Structure 1
Amino acid sequence: MIRRIFHCTLTALSLASLPALAQTPQGLPAGPRVAITAVTQPLPTQPQYVLDQRILRDGLRERSGGRIEMTLASHAERNLSGNEIVRLVRSGQAEIGAGTLSTLSGDVPILDGVDLAGLAPDIGLARRIADAMTPVANRDLERFGVRIMAMFPFPAQVLFCRTPFATMADLRGRRVRTFGNSLVDFYAALGAQPTSIGFPEVYSALERGVVDCAITGSGSGVAARWPEVSTHISDLPVSWAVAAYIVNLNWFNRLEPPVRELIEATFRQLSDAQWELGATGTRDGIDCATGNRDNCRIHTLAARPMTEVKASDADKAETRRIFQQVVLPGFVRRCGARCGEIYNQVIAPLSGVRFGG
């Protein structure tokens, strides 16, 4: 499994980051060793973590001539849930951290607006929004002593169900495992019953019928063996679990300019590779779940193939309606009027949906 992930990761790297490699500074002038502690992905087995190892940890060591040495760990290896990342980096316990924006938004509410349920129907739009919002989010984050270096996605967040469904209307009355406020708003608007269950407990909840459906990344669900306890998977991206790499600002500003330049260039390269992996991993997760052996290259082929439910035009239109009428107002209500103004200034020109318009 790890060998297959690593092979795909290198493929994604070759496709996504060659231009960045050409622009990445090679080598540093002689100077003191730079030791970095980084805590990034939730699990060490994730393809995203393999990219962190290859580009961030190993790449910085190689291109710095050995001056930069990074100790890299996953959340699980440090016994973290993920919502501590801003405080961990702010305190200097780690110089670099990463976490999903919906989790980090507990400290910085504006982050939740980058990846609202129904906001971005495709990963290209999700990236344009993330890029546009990075400097805006940093104005808030820098008050905490941290800064976003790059945002990146996980595969599309899609629905797994233990019984058949054909359209989103069929979800009415079903208990759906969700996470984050905007997903709760989205599925409640469909007439479903949002239910909060920790990711490790979802398998047994689906198996025992505690929930009827659950949402997660297409590949994440396959990796967690959800096809064993569910029968149908949607291809409709509801969100992208966009995440961010953040650095301790005081530490970063004290670094020599050539070291800062190398780290910034490396994050640009890593971001390109992670967005490419998010795109390829989305379809790969669905192909693996549905038994499409020829196109299942990153994740594990499901022993019991699921049925893919393709979103209709009506489903896509309903997703946009719910985002505009329910999810977006709910976000502004929680975050405040300033967040609505920022959304209209920065995101609305990209999404085509204005708050209050």
Structure 2
Amino acid sequence: MSRQIRFPLRNLMAAAGAVAALAMASSGQAQTTYKVIGQPAATGMVQKNYERPFFENFAERTGLNINADYKPVDQLGIKDTEQLRVMKAGLFDIVSLRVSQNSRDEPTLLGLDLVGAAPDYATARKIYDAYLPVVDERLQKQFNVKMLGAWPFGPQILFCKKPVASLADLKGLKVRTYDQNLAKFMESVGASPVPLSFTEVHQALSLGVVDCAITGPSSANSSGWPEVTTHQYALGVQMAMNGYGISLKRWKELSTEEQQKLQAAFTKLTDDIWKYSEELTADAMACNAGKDSCELGKKYHLIDSPLQEADRAVLTEAVSKISVPTWAEICDRANKDCSANWKATAGKVLGIE
């Protein structure tokens, strides 16, 4: 009578692990882990439903033998204005780059998102397609970072704790801003710009440090801004662009085939977010105002101030009169070809020379 031989489970698991390790070693494909800076968790659904799952399943999504150690920037103890610096120092391998917030370190970035330049998603996409190669070249040269794609949170609108139904109502009010271009525009309509990071805004509104703040409807919903405001005004001053960059060192370690796989994965991710962002914006506007069409966010009861056509005209005029000249002066000091490169690409989309 034959006897059945039993092995302890831990021995079987150890043997399986050893076989897998030997197979990986023999194929010359030892697994790599990339350190990744993500979007702030507080920004909401794009981070939660698209970005985080992509990096948590990085090997599967890219088809590469690479894992990702993903951490949102607000959980790392790093300011979102310092992302390019820590990338240049070699501390991380991939960054979910906040464009406006890092434009002080590299003004070229802001050409993706000048105030008033992109009043809708279609225009924003044309600017992005035209201008991203310029940004990529500049970041490679200055920060050893290669851009793999970019996407928008969506139209950045006003949330106020005082009645605001037009730009004229901002006169004398303190408004949270996040880049120099936006601050200059707010000054032009009589408001006092107050630079604050996203995570500081809820408390600043609650305490009266600012009267209004600017962000996307979905981000405002996810972070509870409607709890401390009363009005939303849907004049989209910017699109809040964000980009994915990889350290040039890591990029050059990959074969041509691996680079193509990685690029294809990020292109799909960013294309998916472009579409999702537009859906989120429409839903969040409804949710913030407590409308029945709200499906994805939390219902609040903000007063939804109708968009004034006169304000749309003011914003359009600001592109050539305020946004481009203000930004070009700063950017050309850092990069002498900055505004010329923008006018040859994004500027052509908008008819600005």
TM-score tier, shorter chain, comes to: 0.7 to 0.9
> One-letter code of the match for 2:214?
I
Q: 1:289-328 CA distances to partner (integer Å, 9 max, x unpaired)?
A: 100243331x2222xx011122222111111112221121
- 1:85 maps to 83
C-alpha separation between the residues in 1 aligned to 2:39 and 2:76? 11
C-alpha separation between the residues in 2 aligned to 1:258 and 1:185? 45
- 1:263 maps to 262
Distance 1:194-1:339 versus aligned 2 partners, 3 A rule: same
> One-letter code of the match for 1:169?
A
Residue 288 of structure 1 deviates from its aligned partner by 1.2
1:224 is the counterpart of 2:223: yes
Residue 158 of structure 1 deviates from its aligned partner by 0.6
C-alpha separation between the residues in 1 aligned to 2:42 and 2:302? 26
> One-letter code of the match for 2:93?
E
1:314 equivalent among 310, 314, 323:
310
- Using structure 2 for the length normalisation, give the TM-score: 0.85
Residue 206 of structure 1 deviates from its aligned partner by 2.3
> One-letter code of the match for 2:344?
Q
Residue 30 of structure 1 deviates from its aligned partner by 7.5
CA contact (8 A) 1:116 1:328 kept: yes
Q: Give the match's secondary structure for 1:252.
A: helix
Distance 1:230-1:44 versus aligned 2 partners, 3 A rule: closer
- 1:176 maps to 175
Residue 44 of structure 1 deviates from its aligned partner by 6.6
C-alpha separation between the residues in 2 aligned to 1:274 and 1:244? 11
C-alpha separation between the residues in 2 aligned to 1:136 and 1:45? 27
Which portions of structure 1, spanning 4 or more consecutive aligned residues, are displaced by more than 6 angstroms? none
Residue 88 of structure 1 deviates from its aligned partner by 2.4
- 1:42 maps to 40
CA contact (8 A) 1:165 1:171 kept: yes
- 1:352 maps to 351
> One-letter code of the match for 2:325?
P
Q: Give the match's secondary structure for 2:154.
A: coil
CA contact (8 A) 1:60 1:266 kept: no
- Equivalent runs, 1:83-162 vs 2, <5 Å: 83-143=81-141, 144-162=143-161
- In the alignment, structure 1 segments of 5+ residues that lack a partner are 1-28
Residue 59 of structure 1 deviates from its aligned partner by 4.8
Distance 1:45-1:214 versus aligned 2 partners, 3 A rule: closer
RMSD, matched Cα: 2.0
C-alpha separation between the residues in 1 aligned to 2:133 and 2:203? 41
> One-letter code of the match for 1:133?
Y
CA contact (8 A) 2:54 2:61 kept: no
Distance 1:184-1:165 versus aligned 2 partners, 3 A rule: same
98-107 vs 243-252, which deviates more?
98-107
CA contact (8 A) 2:101 2:178 kept: no
C-alpha separation between the residues in 2 aligned to 1:63 and 1:95? 15
- Equivalent runs, 1:282-297 vs 2, <5 Å: 282-297=281-296
Residue 45 of structure 1 deviates from its aligned partner by 6.8
1:328 equivalent among 324, 329, 339:
324
Q: Give the match's secondary structure for 2:347.
A: helix
Distance 1:200-1:117 versus aligned 2 partners, 3 A rule: same
C-alpha separation between the residues in 1 aligned to 2:196 and 2:59? 38
208-217 vs 125-134, which deviates more?
208-217
1:166 is the counterpart of 2:162: no
CA contact (8 A) 1:60 1:263 kept: no
Q: Give the match's secondary structure for 1:117.
A: coil
C-alpha separation between the residues in 2 aligned to 1:91 and 1:198? 23
Distance 1:79-1:327 versus aligned 2 partners, 3 A rule: same
C-alpha separation between the residues in 1 aligned to 2:209 and 2:85? 34
Distance 1:210-1:250 versus aligned 2 partners, 3 A rule: closer
- 1:341 maps to 340
C-alpha separation between the residues in 1 aligned to 2:43 and 2:217? 15
